[in-house]
Amino acid sequence: MPPSDSSTYYRKGFGLKAEVQDTLAADYTGRLVDLLRARAFTLDAGPVTIRLAREFGFCYGVERAVEYAYQTRAKFPDRRISLAGEIIHNPHVNTKLRDMGIVFLSRGETGFDYAHVRADDVVILPAFGVTIADFETLREIGCVVVDTTCGSVLNVWKRVEHYAKDGFTSLIHGKYYHEETRATASQVERYPGGTYLVVRDLAQARDVCEYIEGKGLSREAFLEKYRAQASPQFDPAVHLRRIGVANQTTMLARESLAIGEEVGRAMARARGEEYRAANFRTFDTICSATQDRQDAVNELLREPLDVMLVLGGYNSSNTISLAALCAERVPTFHVADATCVDPARGAIRHLPPGEREEVETEGWLAATGPVRVGLTAGASTPNNKIGEVVARVLATRGVDPASIR
């Protein structure tokens, strides 16, 4: 990682918050969301009651990343500015940055394509962070680097780095292809022999548990199944003897905790409690914003709701986790933005939990009688986009959003 005092490395912005604040407010503030907040997160409009979870939308880390991107454009109005991937997983925010002339770098199997980046360019690092290899490439180029990596992600990096230093394999609960998980896994490279294995869910973690206990997949079958999710030198026969659990910060918190518990118990059953105490570590590294949004949704789900809307990008991990929670209790519709809600036809386009393809459902909202709609949004979703969804929900039942005062 470049030193924080480098003349080409910036992690704390440029002191231009006041200069970009009005633009940010104009781009992302939502009137209907302000009304919901002012009215105890409840909006009663004729037959429709909308209940908003008390923690929703932009978190501090996302706000910071977006603000720093705006500050960067203000600081370097005449320089070519590139962004390593997406700043966050929200298409509207990323479109705004493209409209500001920021070029999005594509990512291949070995990292981002910096072929056209020059020493007098500026490169913004996203909230997810980038890999050690990306940092090294940018250092060699010598360009200005603006690092918006979320502090919660940095905390996980430190944990994984300590695991590697002490000879533990990092077992990471996450999506191995996700930008954050790739960046986190790369931290083991700081120490020779550092290893990692990424597990997507509890089912994959149970493969690990069974292997530790000498049952389930053979060594060869385990390697075949998890090769893409592990460090190149990973060998389950060697590297599942000392394990430290970490996670992508936006995963479902209860599943991350359950994975740690099950792996720890498997090690105790296989080699005894004393061995487990010396050779197993686990810490809850779900970020506070992710946890707060999941807690707020669980609280809202205690109320009687007819449907639940979850707003956020379909590639947003924290939004997917929120939708999975809601779907356990009430009919749930994960929508990317307001265009998914069609008031004229009474239809909605949405991504069902666990699926990869968007579907359309007609009659998703009762056509007559009172209806209670729960609403939340992932940490990458700005207030104006939440307000647009509220407006379309109201219009579906014939309520003019402009009449809400």
Catalytic residue among 180, 210, 273, 303: 180
Same domain flag for 117 and 238: no
Q: What is the pLDDT along the chain (405 residues), one digit of tens a residue?
A: 444 446 899 999 899 999 999 999 989 989 999 999 999 999 999 899 999 999 999 999 999 999 999 999 999 999 999 999 999 999 899 999 999 999 999 987 778 999 999 999 999 999 999 999 999 999 999 999 999 999 999 999 999 999 999 999 999 999 999 999 999 999 999 999 999 999 999 999 999 999 999 999 999 999 999 999 999 999 999 999 999 999 999 999 999 999 999 999 999 999 999 999 999 999 888 888 889 999 999 999 999 999 999 999 999 999 999 999 999 999 999 999 999 999 999 999 999 998 999 999 999 999 999 999 999 999 999 999 999 999 999 999 999 988 887
Q: Is residue 184 part of a domain?
A: yes
CA atoms of 144 and 139, how far apart (whole Å): 9
Same domain flag for 159 and 110: no
At 380, which CATH number? 3.40.1010.20
Residue with tokens 């250092």: 139
Helix (H) or strand (E) holding 5: none
Q: How many domains does the chain have?
A: 3
Same domain flag for 270 and 293: no
Same domain flag for 142 and 159: no
Q: Which of 248, 267, 286 is the last residue of a domain?
A: 286
Q: Is residue 69 part of a domain?
A: yes
Q: Is residue 393 part of a domain?
A: yes
Same domain flag for 43 and 162: no
Same domain flag for 48 and 84: no
Give SS3 for 323: helix
Same domain flag for 180 and 277: yes
Give SS3 for 171: strand
Q: Which domain holds residue 275?
A: 152-286
At 94, which CATH number? 3.40.50.11270
Active-site annotation holds for 180: yes
- Closest to 121 (Cα-Cα) out of 145, 91, 155: 145
Q: Is residue 160 part of a domain?
A: yes
Q: Which of 286, 321, 347 is the last residue of a domain?
A: 286
CA atoms of 255 and 184, how far apart (whole Å): 19
Same domain flag for 205 and 294: no
8 A C-beta contact, residue 137 and residue 161: no
Same domain flag for 174 and 280: yes
8 A C-beta contact, residue 43 and residue 49: yes
Q: Is residue 22 part of a domain?
A: no
Q: Which of 95, 125, 149 is the last residue of a domain?
A: 149
- Report which residue type is found at 250: T
Helices and strands, counts by H and E, the chain: 15, 19
Q: Is residue 8 part of a domain?
A: no
- CA-based angle 328:333:335, to the nearest 5? 135
Q: Is residue 6 part of a domain?
A: no
Q: How many CA atoms lie within 13 A of 283 on its CB side?
A: 14
Same domain flag for 132 and 85: yes
